[in-house]
Amino acid sequence: MKTTQSLRRALCASLCIAALAMAGCRKAPDAPGGGQAPAPPAAPKALVVGTDAAYAPFESQNERGEIVGFDIDLVRAVAQKAGLEVKFVNTPWEGIFNALAQGDRDLLVSSITITEERKQTLDFSDPYFDAHQLIAVKQSAKVTGFADLKALKVGVQTGTTGDEVVSKLLGKTSTQVRRFESAPLAIKEMESGGVDAVVIDNGVLVNYAANNPASNLRMVNDPAFQPERYGIAVRKGHADLLAKLNKGLADVRADGTYDRIYASYFGKSPSDSGTRK
């Protein structure tokens, strides 16, 4: 009988020790309601915007290496209206469309002219800027129109609409067409005598002349140049993103933001310069 009582006491002691051990290993209580504490909301993913920052005043880099310009300010304003986060990444023009196609960029803003050929592989926002080509020559050059370039060496930026129109005039494989990575390089080559003329978008050429008065270049306009319109490019099928961008564009036009940004770069309102809305 004494032995039985001892066994019972030992068994009770073991059970108490086990219970205490279980209590010490118990995890912290769950959040009220029995569920796990909710995870903090994820920060919105910034859309990566590709831009060739060598096309002032639309996109360029300042002395601190920051990407600035008309296109940059406009897309920031559009994104704010659309509730989007954006991050700009300098992307060389020659690879900019491939970067979008591969998913390395979510959208492009880089003074991209909307063309039927590009619309085969890209979707574009509503147009945000009207442009046309201009010819840059030295003051002494006897050039009065586009046809006068047939016997000259002409500089263009590779893959631009300026490249396209000059290639049609002189032939795509003509050695008279000199292609450069950027518009400023083409203009510098003309100033040094490497080419006789440059064909480039009007906004870029006017801005260059204003900021480089010593260049003493002359600008020639030709009615044969077709009007062009810039758009924001996205990958094919991204209808939701495109709708948000178009809504943001409409909003910045409606509240005057577009006009203020335009005037800060071009010194006048879009209506004064002939830019359509």
Would you kindly state where each structural domain of the chain is located, as residue ranges?
47-130+229-271, 133-220
Identity of the amino acid at 98: N
- Confidence at residue 43, expressed as pLDDT on a 0 to 100 scale: 56
H or E element, residue 156:
strand 154-157
Tokens of residue 150, six digits: 């047939």
Tens digit of each residue's pLDDT (9 = 90 or more) over 4-51: 444 455 444 554 454 444 444 444 444 455 556 565 555 568 999 999
In this structure, which CATH number among 3.30.750.80, 3.40.190.10, 2.30.30.90, 1.10.357.10 belongs to the domain 133-220?
A: 3.40.190.10
What distance in Å separates the CA atoms of residue 14 and residue 8, rounded to the nearest whole number?
10
Q: Do domains 47-130+229-271 and 133-220 have the same CATH topology?
A: yes
What CATH number belongs to 47-130+229-271? 3.40.190.10
Identity of the amino acid at 235: R
Residue 95 confidence (pLDDT) above 80: yes
Nearest to 152 by CA among 183, 182, 180, 177: 177
What distance in Å separates the CA atoms of residue 15 and residue 100, rounded to the nearest whole number?
67
Q: What would the mean pLDDT of 127-146 be, rounded to a whole number? A: 96
What distance in Å separates the CA atoms of residue 161 and residue 3, rounded to the nearest whole number?
104
- Confidence at residue 206, expressed as pLDDT on a 0 to 100 scale: 93
Q: What is the pTM of this model?
A: 0.80
Instruction: Report CA-CA distances (Å) from 272 to 4, 99, 276.
Output: 108, 36, 10
Q: What would the mean pLDDT of 241-253 be, rounded to a whole number? A: 98
Q: What b/e sequence results for 225-253 when a residue is b if at least 16 CB atoms lie within 10 Å of its CB, and e otherwise? A: beebbbbbbbbeeeeebbebbbebbebbb
216: Cα separation from own chain's centroid: 31
